[in-house]
Amino acid sequence: MCPAQPISRRAFLRFLLKGGVLAFLGAALYPIVRYLYPPRGAESSVSNVVAAQIGEVATNSAKVFRFGNRPGILIHTPQGELKAFSAVCTHLNCTVQYDPQVSVIWCACHNGKFDLNGQVISGPPPRPLEAFQVNVRGEEIIVSKPA
Ligand code: FES
C-alpha cells in the first residue's frame, strides 16, 4: 500500500493553468461554432399563419407579420389583390417594406427593389423574394408556404 502523497504546489498550479486554458478555449470557440452551425428554428415547422384580419390592411399598404421565426410581408395591392412574400431580402437578409408611393417592395439596406410579384427590379438582391400563398378563411387572411 502506498500512502497518499501530498500534491506539490507546482503540480497544483499546473493543474489550474491547464484548466484555465481549457475554459478559455471553450469560451472562445463556443460562439464561433454556434455561428457556423445555427440551431434549427421554428421556421421549418410553420407552414401557415394568420397574417391579418380582413380590413386590417388597407388598399395600397402592407403589413409585416411573423412567419415562424422570420418576417413575412402581406401586401394589399392598388388593384385590390392580396399578396404575400418572405420579408427577408435575398441580398443580406434585411427586412423589406412596401413603398406605396411607387408600389414596390423596397429594401432600405442597399436600395434593393422588388415588384409586386417579388421579382427583382433593381439593386443588389440576386433572387426574387420567396412567394407565399394567400387564402381568406372567414375574417382571417391565411398565408402559407406553397406545397
Ligand atoms: S439587404 Fe436588401 S438590398 Fe442589401
Reply yes or no on whether the pLDDT at 37 is more than 90: no
Over the chain, what is the mean pLDDT? 91
pTM reported for the whole predicted model: 0.72
- For 69-114, how does the pLDDT look when each residue is reduced to its tens digit (9 = 90+)? 899 999 999 999 999 999 999 999 999 999 999 999 999 999 999 9
Tell me the C-alpha distance between 115 and 93, whole Å: 17
> For position 52, which CATH number holds?
2.102.10.10
Q: Does 72 lie in the same domain as 128?
A: yes
Q: Which atom of ligand 1 is nearest to the CA of 125?
A: 3
H helices of the chain, in order, are 9-36
Residue 59: phi and psi, rounded to 5, are -60, 140
**Whole domain around residue 89: which residue ranges?**
42-144
Is 2 within a domain? Answer: no
CA of 98 to the centre of ligand 1 (A): 14
Q: Does 83 lie in the same domain as 30?
A: no
Is 1 within a domain? Answer: no
For ligand 1, which residues put their CB under 6 angstroms from it? 89, 91-92, 94, 107, 109-110, 112, 123-125
More confident residue, 135 or 36: 135
Is 49 within a domain? Answer: yes
Q: Does 68 lie in the same domain as 108?
A: yes
Q: Does 94 lie in the same domain as 76?
A: yes
Q: Does 73 lie in the same domain as 22?
A: no
Give residues with Cβ within 8 angstroms of 76, minimum separation 6.
57, 58, 59, 60, 61, 62, 82
- For 44-64, how does the pLDDT look when each residue is reduced to its tens digit (9 = 90+)? 578 999 999 999 999 999 999
Tell me the C-alpha distance between 46 and 40, whole Å: 12
Q: Which atom of ligand 1 is nearest to the CA of 92?
A: 1
CA of 87 to the centre of ligand 1 (A): 11
How many distinct structural domains can be found in the chain?
2
Q: Does 135 lie in the same domain as 78?
A: yes
